[in-house]
Amino acid sequence: FSLKIILECYIIIKILAFNIYKCIMSLQVITPDFVEICISNSSNEYVCMQKRFSKALTIIEFKGKLEMIVGGSSGSMTLQLLTSKGQHVCNLDNDDALLGSYPIETGMTVHVIADISQNIPNEAESLSMSTEEYNKRTNTLHNFLQNNKLGKYDEKYQKELEEQNRIKQIALEEKLESLKIGGRCLVQVSGQPSRKGTVLYKGDVEGLNGPYVGVKYDEPLGKNDGSFNGKRYFECAMKYGGFVKPLNVEAGDFPEDEFDLEEI
């Protein structure tokens, strides 16, 4: 090749590269500036409050706002981003990053794991003083909650909590109704593989809070033989049984997997 042809090719490549660069720089991902998410915390996993936040907040600023919601210290917080079904997506672990830099969307949940107790004064001394003396103190749980409008002093929160609990109770009852004894099901728990099985029990389990579903799995992917703390709820072989929260169980036509013996 002549020097002229090489020079022309070089110029063309430079022009193409510049145009590609301009196209890339002009690309924009258009998403809402705010997200409405559910905030739950490790002190009470069954309570979840809907809040709206700007994606422009840094994670440390976001933690500061969460302090007023859950009562924990931002320095002790671990933030887990969960899907609407409770599946773990990632941790919001970079204090300098923007909230919007994470794959967060409206309807998701941020679960706050924190030492709530370190921001709330010790109440042991209150047992030995009169109500009048206790109310005069400024470093009490009563004072902390009242000043920050938390807990029973947050009327809006209490109304939201009542409504959320009502909706959750309805969803729980509908889910239990859909799960029939002897029916096929699919169990999906965050951080665990999906498992097929058969519903053999539903109701209270001694030692656990709330109703549970007893499932006999198709494969030895469970934790027990249908018993819990020495009490039997259904029959199955060891490692084939499990007790699962109803909202993690889906009823449906889930046939057992067929294995081709010639391939084993």
What Rg value do the Cα atoms of the chain yield, rounded?
27
Residue-by-residue DSSP string for 43-90: TEEEEEEEEEEETTSBHHHHHHHHHHHH---GGG-EEEEE-TTS-EEE
DSSP 124: G
Which phi and psi angles does 160 have, rounded to 5°?
Answer: -65, -40
Q: Note the pLDDT of residue 85.
A: 77
Instruction: Give pTM, 2 decimals.
Output: 0.45
Q: Note the pLDDT of residue 177.
A: 93
Report whether 76 contacts 43 (CB < 8 A): no
Q: Note the pLDDT of residue 126.
A: 44
Tell me the CATH class for 34-119: alpha beta
Cβ within 8 Å of residue 78, ≥6 positions away: 91, 93, 112, 113, 114
Cβ within 8 Å of residue 243, ≥6 positions away: 201, 205, 208, 212, 213, 214, 215, 224, 228, 233
Report whether 35 contacts 62 (CB < 8 A): no
Characterize the bridge pairing of strands 34-41 and 88-91.
Answer: unpaired
E strands, the chain, in order:
34-41, 44-54, 78-82, 88-91, 109-113, 184-187, 195-204, 211-217, 227-228, 231-232, 241-244, 249-251
pLDDT tens, the chain, 264 aa long: 567 777 777 778 877 877 776 666 555 545 678 999 988 887 765 567 889 999 999 998 999 898 888 877 777 888 999 888 778 889 998 888 899 999 999 989 998 887 655 444 444 444 455 556 656 655 555 565 666 665 556 677 678 778 888 888 898 999 999 999 999 999 998 778 899 999 999 999 998 888 999 999 999 999 999 999 999 999 999 999 999 999 899 999 999 876 543 433
Q: Where are the domains of the chain?
A: 34-119, 180-251
What CATH number belongs to 180-251? 2.30.30.190
Report whether 212 contacts 229 (CB < 8 A): no
Report whether 148 contacts 75 (CB < 8 A): no
Q: CATH topology of 34-119 equal to that of 180-251?
A: no
Which phi and psi angles does 77 have, rounded to 5°?
Answer: -85, 135
Report whether 163 contacts 169 (CB < 8 A): no
